A and B are shown apart, each in its own frame.
Chain A
Amino acid sequence: MEYQIKEIKKGINLHLIHNEKFKTNLISIFLTTPLNRENVTQNAILPAILRRGSKNMPTQDAISKELEEMYGASFNCGIDKRGDNQVLKFYIESINDMFLPEGEENMLSKTIEKLLEIVFNPVTENDGFNKTYLEQEKNNLKQAIEGKIDNKARYAIDRCTEEMYKNHPFALYKYGYVEDLENIDAQELYKYYQELLKTCKIDIFVSGIVENSIYKSIVESKEMENLKERTPQFSNMTLNVIPQNNGQEVQESMDVTQGKLILGLNVKLENEDMQYDALIYNSILGGSANSKLFQNVREKASLAYVASSSYLKSKNNIFINCGIEIENYEKALQIVKEQLEEMKQGKFTENDIEVAKKGIIDAIQTIDDEQDSEIMYFFGQEFCNNKLNIEQYLERIKKVTKEAVLKIAQKVEIDTIYFLKN
């Protein structure tokens, strides 16, 4: 694997990941902009409207047919929250020329061309987006927003986050708010889109068998020529802004069979480098089948099928997640708290550290086995003040000590305890 990053213009980066072991090319474009209440819904609707048609492929039907002809090249788009940023994501995956039944077709260039066209060259009317498309997509987005309740486990984590980050951008729902939809109009949204393209951080990733000519063809594309340099507004990883809810308990009722217990924890780091120690801490707490949570909540007490934790690096929070019988709330919470306490008292062994390291090292070593995880790794580095390549990341994990993990344990506090019951 060879990774190169090239600045096309200030604020617009091209990331080239050359790797010969895949059957596919994966191209992605990420537009990153600060998360805020004013624009969250407009940002959320943009991918949906852009996928409806471009200048040369003015209908969704035309796009679909074009991609189907390219041996089922698949387009995907979505919205993500990354720290205090909102990310608009666009992807196309296509087959490498080597595996086409009828030989060379220059699939990679074609794929790049299509994606640039969809993201940067939308179909318009009267200086705005197509009205019909917009109305349909408003309706679809409304449903996506309302669909938040459909996955109860996910919903519980979202709700816990909202309670932790009240009045803070990170509480915002990535798909936005129904009440904003009414006021979005085709001309205004188009104006907003043009403005966004002038200010947002743009990252273009090309993964596959990448030849040198690719750089040139992208830089010289009309889409890139139309974009101007910018000093993008986006927020880097920060150690500050930590929720201060001191263990508040929030309970809500819904039509569920199983209770979902979520604990939102703050991890008060002194510097960015400590995040790697926090990763190991999380792994011992609830990151694997050997973890304290899995062993004690599930295996010993038989209270849950799911009992785990995950570390959200961009906000320095850990979320503990247990699916339990509703009447076992107190019992489960007690056991979870005991595990946090044990971590604090250093009741974990060198062996626990070794096991955690092995698991994480394994995951790091497979980053370059998947195109999407490669892309996400390098994209993630864009937000770090201290960028590490995969090799450095590996070395850093190997250096984590028991003292360092114990130090993390002292910095962990329960911020919010959320319970979804019936």
Chain B
Amino acid sequence: MQIIENLKVKEKLYIEKLENGLTVMIIPKKGMQKKYIIWGTNYGSNESSFIVPGETEITTVPDGVAHFLEHKMFEQENGRNSLDVLTEIGVSANAYTTNDHTAYLYECTDHFYEALDEFMDYVQHPYFTDENVEKEKGIIGQEIMMYDDYPDWKVYLNALQTMYHKFPIRLDTVGTIETISKINKDILYKCYNTFYNPSNMAMVISGDFEPQEILEEVKKRLINTKANGEIKRIYPEEPDGIVKEKVTQKMEVSRPLYTIGIKDKPADTSNSNSKEEIVKKHIAIEILLHLIFGESSNLYKTLYDKGTISSAPSMDYEFSRGYAHILISGQSNDPEEVYKSLKEEIAKIKESGINEADFTRMRKTLYGDYIKEYNDVTDIARMFLADYFKGINSFDYIEQIMTVNTEYAMQILKEVFDENKMVLSTITM
């Protein structure tokens, strides 16, 4: 096993790629009661067109299959539901689907190995029938409707739809009532067999473990599968520009919600330096966002004093295969004012440059934020998995943060914070 140690946060990562292609990562946490395991496939709602290894034809499936598959994985041939079995064992199990990956997980203090039997068994043994697929449509239908009532989800999704012309990030992860109606067991099996091959998967374990021992336990429970060839993922060609600058929807909310998006170019993964570059760029963007609109920024102070906003917005840089964008979200009486002032502030900093003292303070803050992510085994495991599928080792953020300077940040500011690629999505009464 390869061991990567980070001396700043004082943690170690044990990593091994098994013969069947599965990557296993272990981050031991001495003294923690909680044990956490997450097993993910590099497959999310963005993958609806692909070429199965060994085939030549493109397969296209309805939107929402990855999420549907996640729901159905728990069903077992013996008539049991693995979620129930795991709960009975005494562990807390769950699963989730994002745009770029799907993950299965459980956490517990006791009965870890007993649960591991069931956990690894169900992820490796799908059991879909016409009947159990039909039944799930009602449940997922309610899940879709639940999201329909979340204004913060709507404002986010609308922002993506007005930024992206074709790229599937613009679609709801769960699909729509209409697309899920077309899902059947054959589609589920095809996607399972393509994307749930060990070579397309990774497992992360965190807790008070002895790494070699837990690795052996995992290996024992793997069924015999050969590593697959490369899956060719087909994404529609996405233009650089946005669809439309503004989008608005009416819902019953007390005060307008806004999401401001800035569309970025996805990373060029063909370049060998790209991994390091992605992390550096991500760090620079986070520092910039805090400089522009963090709690000690001029913009925040001005808008707060005017009563335009009452809390700091949430700010994120989201990226994966084929897409990258910044999102700034919050509630305001006057989203247009927030949008206009933000644009002006960006222009101002581009013009006047970045204040060195502010920059250093923000970098310190971000350093602290990175350290805080290592308290909880859940946060650690999820972070390592999500970053892994982006080609990143999570420690790199802590390693690289001090190499990001004002000069580099200025370059990123000019490249990424492009006025012509900004959108404003609002939800109003």
Q: Is the beta-carbon distance between B255 and A143 smaller than 8 angstroms?
A: yes
The range of chain B's interface size is 35 or more
Q: Is the beta-carbon distance between A72 and B364 smaller than 8 angstroms?
A: yes
Q: Is the beta-carbon distance between A146 and B9 smaller than 8 angstroms?
A: no
Contacting residues, chain A, for B149 (C-beta < 8 A): 152-153, 256-258
**Does chain B have a CB within 8 A of A299?**
yes
Known contacts A324-B142, A361-B90; A149 and B252 CB within 8 A of each other: yes
Q: Is the beta-carbon distance between B367 and A325 smaller than 8 angstroms?
A: no
- The listed residue (A65, A153, A290, A369) touching B296 by CB distance below 8 A is A65
Contacting residues, chain A, for B108 (C-beta < 8 A): 362
Q: Is the beta-carbon distance between B364 and A257 smaller than 8 angstroms?
A: no
Q: Is the beta-carbon distance between A23 and B374 smaller than 8 angstroms?
A: yes
Give chain B nearest CB distance to A296 CB in angstroms: 13
- Which residue in chain B gives the minimum CB-CB distance to A259? B145
Task: Spot the interface stretch: A93-101, A114-122, A236-244, A335-343.
Answer: A93-101
**Does chain A have a CB within 8 A of B220?**
no
Known contacts A21-B32, A362-B110; A323 and B362 CB within 8 A of each other: no
- The listed residue (B30, B90, B254, B361) touching A65 by CB distance below 8 A is B361
Task: Give B342-380 as 1s and 0s: 1 = Cβ < 8 Å from A's Cβ atoms.
Answer: 000000000000000000011011111101101111000
**Does chain B have a CB within 8 A of A303?**
yes
Q: Is the beta-carbon distance between B146 and A362 smaller than 8 angstroms?
A: no
Task: Spot the interface stretch: A161-169, A211-219, A351-359, A409-417.
Answer: A351-359
Q: Is the beta-carbon distance between A136 and B307 smaller than 8 angstroms?
A: yes
Q: Is the beta-carbon distance between B88 and A351 smaller than 8 angstroms?
A: yes
Q: Is the beta-carbon distance between B361 and A69 smaller than 8 angstroms?
A: yes
Q: Is the beta-carbon distance between A303 and B253 smaller than 8 angstroms?
A: no
A113-155: which have CB < 8 Å to B? Answer: 136, 139-140, 143-144, 146-153
Interface residue count for A (Cβ, 8 Å)?
A: 65
**Does chain B have a CB within 8 A of A370?**
yes
**Does chain A have a CB within 8 A of B31?**
yes
A293 to B310, CA, bound (A): 39
Contacting residues, chain B, for A323 (C-beta < 8 A): 142, 145-146
A71 to B143, CA, bound (A): 40
Contacting residues, chain B, for A147 (C-beta < 8 A): 254-255, 331
- The listed residue (B109, B145, B365) touching A365 by CB distance below 8 A is B109
Total A-B contacts with CB atoms under 8 angstroms apart? 171
Residue from A24, A139, A305, A359 whose CB has the most chain B CB atoms within 10 Å? A305
A281-317: which have CB < 8 Å to B? Answer: 288-290, 295, 298-299, 302-306
Q: Is the beta-carbon distance between B375 and A60 smaller than 8 angstroms?
A: no
Contacting residues, chain A, for B111 (C-beta < 8 A): 358
Give chain A nearest CB distance to B203 CB in angstroms: 21
**Does chain A have a CB within 8 A of B396?**
no
Contacting residues, chain B, for A98 (C-beta < 8 A): 10
Contacting residues, chain B, for A305 (C-beta < 8 A): 139-140, 142-143, 146
- The listed residue (B8, B32, B93, B145) touching A257 by CB distance below 8 A is B145
**Does chain A have a CB within 8 A of B148?**
yes
A94 to B375, CA, bound (A): 12
**Does chain A have a CB within 8 A of B91?**
yes
Contacting residues, chain B, for A304 (C-beta < 8 A): 139, 142
Task: Spot the interface stretch: B38-46, B50-58, B79-87, B232-240.
Answer: B79-87
Q: Is the beta-carbon distance between B310 and A143 smaller than 8 angstroms?
A: yes
Give chain A nearest CB distance to B365 CB in angstroms: 3
Residue from A94, A288, A365, A366 whose CB has the most chain B CB atoms within 10 Å? A366
Q: Is the beta-carbon distance between A366 and B295 smaller than 8 angstroms?
A: no
Known contacts A147-B331, A298-B139; A355 and B88 CB within 8 A of each other: yes
Contacting residues, chain B, for A257 (C-beta < 8 A): 145, 148-149
Q: Is the beta-carbon distance between A369 and B376 smaller than 8 angstroms?
A: yes
A263 to B310, CA, bound (A): 34
A144 to B309, CA, bound (A): 12
Give chain B nearest CB distance to A357 CB in angstroms: 8
- The listed residue (B92, B145, B377) touching A258 by CB distance below 8 A is B145
A152 to B149, CA, bound (A): 7
**Does chain B have a CB within 8 A of A68?**
yes
- Which residue in chain B gives the minimum CB-CB distance to A20? B31
**Does chain A have a CB within 8 A of B216?**
no
Contacting residues, chain A, for B402 (C-beta < 8 A): 101
- The listed residue (A144, A254, A288) touching B87 by CB distance below 8 A is A288
The 3 closest A-B pairs by CB, nearest first: A358-B90, A72-B365, A71-B368
**B interface, CB within 8 angstroms of A:** 8-10, 29-34, 81, 83-84, 87-93, 108-111, 135-136, 138-140, 142-143, 145-146, 148-151, 251-255, 294-296, 301, 304-305, 307, 310, 331, 333, 361-362, 364-369, 371-372, 374-377, 402
Q: Sample 20 A-B pairs with CB under 8 A, ordered by A number.
A: A21-B32, A61-B301, A93-B372, A143-B254, A143-B333, A146-B255, A258-B142, A258-B146, A289-B83, A289-B84, A302-B138, A303-B142, A323-B146, A355-B87, A359-B87, A362-B91, A365-B34, A366-B109, A368-B33, A369-B376
